[in-house]
Structure 1
Amino acid sequence: MTKPMDREVVAAKVAIEEEWAYDRRAERLSWRQMRDRSALPVERGGLGYPLGIATLQARADAYFEQIRGTLRVGVDERRARQEGEIDELIRLAIGDIKVARAAGDVKASADAELRLLRYQEREAKIFGTDAPTKLEATVDVVDDRAVTAELNSALLSLGGDVLPVADDSGDYYFEARTPQMLIDALPKAIRKRAKRLGAH
Structure 2
Amino acid sequence: MAKSDHKRHSAKHKIDRRLGVNLWGRPKSPVNAREYGPGQHGQRRKKPTDFGVQLMAKQKLKGYYGNIGEKQFKKYYQAAARGKGDTGQNLIGILECRLDAILYRSKMVPTVFAARQIINHGHIMLNGKRCNIASVMLKPGDEIALKEKAKTIPAVLDAIASVERDVPEYVDVNHDKFTAKFIRIPTLDEVPYPVQMEPNLVVEYYSR
Fold shared, TM-score > 0.5 on shorter chain: no
Larger-Rg structure:
1
Larger relative contact order (Cα-Cα within 8 Å, sequence gap ≥ 6): 2
- TM-score band, normalised by shorter chain: under 0.3
Which protein is richer in helix relative to its size? 1
Q: Structure 1 length as normaliser, TM-score?
A: 0.25
Which protein is richer in strand relative to its size? 2
Q: Structure 2 length as normaliser, TM-score?
A: 0.24
